[in-house]
Amino acid sequence: MSEISRRSFIKMSAALGAAGSIVPLGSALGKTGSEKMMKDNPIAISTWKHGVPANDAAWKVLSSGGSALDAVEQGVRVPEGDPEVTSVGYGGYPDEDCRVTLDACIMGPDGTTGSVAFVEGYKHPISIARKVMEETDHDMIVGEGAEEFARKHGFKKVDLLTEKARSGWLKWKAKMSDDDDWLPRKENHDTIGMLALDAKGQLAGACTTSGLAFKIHGRVGDSPIIGAGMYVDNEVGAVAATGRGEAVIRVCGSFLVVELMRQGMSPQEACREALERIVEKHGGKTDFQVGFVALSRGGEHGAMSLVKGFEYALAVDGRNELFKAEYIIE
Ligand code: GLY
């Protein structure tokens, strides 16, 4: 086990109470991004608890002098390949037709982007998105075209539907009710978004998801949309979103947070302002979750959500820890 894996395991073990719930982790890092980091200190920040093993993989790249772009790709491939994570990649919950369709995007410090959406049969849409970025002069390829593109670039076709996800779908199908465990209040939107700053001060971001569980076949959320699910401006900062994609798209969420940072807000202030904008757009009524993670080019981070429950993982200085994010609605 690498040093950072061992430390994160110890930290996570210590943080788990008897009921298995995560308690706030008071830390030398501070709760939010008020602490400025030196530019040559690499950082990775990512959404939810599957961000912890993702950060471990990203840290391996960053701590050996690798690029932020390689770090975010390697990082998010971990939950993409984990059958226990039901909101990303292999093992993700299917759509209403019991088909697992995936969305992902990646963006580098030079502003180049790659994105795929509505892709079936490939475990690592983030790596297909990177191929789109590097091998074509397009930004986004979707559906059958993206699958054909993946096949031609040597990606192996696999069945993404696990028994766990199929039985979840069967349970949903049997009830299809508003007051069961599945829809719409306990939406499964736990997209992984990851941002990294490498030792050379370069930023990159990645975002990948199986999207809303049991969605209408063909539905695409915010995650593969540059500026909604994720955005990087190497002169300002990087942002990734998670939660109700439709709400994030309506405010161009990640782009909005970056622009607010450009105007002088801290990452935390910018996340709050964008979340308030979402509430405003919905007439003050929000029965869904949205969360943002943000990282400035100087290494200051922020993370915030609409309602309680959002967690983010932060890897810096050889430590990788899970934090509860602040939220704006009680
Ligand atoms: N944020 C993921 C989605 O709505 O698809």
Q: Is the CB of 291 under 6 A from ligand 1?
A: no
Specify the pLDDT at position 13.
Answer: 32
Write the single-letter amino acid at 100.
V
Q: Is the CB of 224 under 6 A from ligand 1?
A: no
Domains of the chain, earliest start first: 3-327 (3.60.20.30)
Q: Which atom of ligand 1 is nearest to the CA of 210?
A: 5
Instruction: Kindly report whether the peptide bond that precedes residue 125 is cis, defined as omega within 30 degrees of 0.
Output: no
Question: What is the CA(114)–ligand 1 centre distance, in A?
Answer: 17
Specify the pLDDT at position 187.
Answer: 55
Report the sign of the C-alpha dihedral through residues 210, 213, 216, 217, in that order: positive
Q: What are the pLDDT digits (tens) for 16-49?
A: 322 222 333 333 333 344 344 445 789 999 999 9
Q: Is the CB of 253 under 6 A from ligand 1?
A: no
Q: How far is CA 27 from CA 44, 272, 314, 320, in A?
A: 16, 22, 11, 11
191 is catalytic: yes
Q: What are the pLDDT digits (tens) for 136-187?
A: 999 999 999 999 999 999 999 999 999 999 999 999 898 776 555 545 444 5
In the block, tokens 């990646």 appear at 106
Name beta bridge partners: 312: 47, 323
Write the single-letter amino acid at 72.
V
Q: Is the CB of 223 under 6 A from ligand 1?
A: yes
Specify the pLDDT at position 205.
Answer: 98
Question: What is the CA(262)–ligand 1 centre distance, in A?
Answer: 25
Tokens of 264: 């002088």
pTM reported for the whole predicted model:
0.88
pLDDT at 311 over 80: yes
If one compares 92 and 33, the residue with the highest pLDDT of the two is 92
Confidence of residue 122 (pLDDT cuts 50, 70, 90): very high
Distance CA 149, CA 168 (A): 30
Mutate to test the pocket of ligand 1, among 47, 183, 208, 209 (most ligand atoms within 8 A of CB): 209
- The mean pLDDT value for 1-12 works out to 40
Nearest CA to ligand 1 atom 5: 211
Q: Is the CB of 47 under 6 A from ligand 1?
A: no
Q: What are the pLDDT digits (tens) for 224-276?
A: 999 999 999 999 999 999 999 999 999 999 999 999 999 999 999 999 999 99
If one compares 34 and 73, the residue with the highest pLDDT of the two is 73
CB neighbour list of residue 206: distance below 8 Å, 6 or more residues apart: 72, 73, 75, 76, 104, 105, 106, 107, 126, 129, 192, 193, 194, 230, 240
Specify the pLDDT at position 330.
Answer: 86
Q: What is the residue-averaged pLDDT of the chain?
A: 88
Q: What are the pLDDT digits (tens) for 287-302?
A: 999 999 999 999 999 9
Q: How far is CA 67 from CA 12, 29, 73, 175, 329, in A?
A: 27, 23, 10, 47, 37
Catalytic-role residue among 101, 113, 191, 286: 191
Specify the pLDDT at position 8.
Answer: 40
pLDDT at 208 over 50: yes
Specify the pLDDT at position 126.
Answer: 98
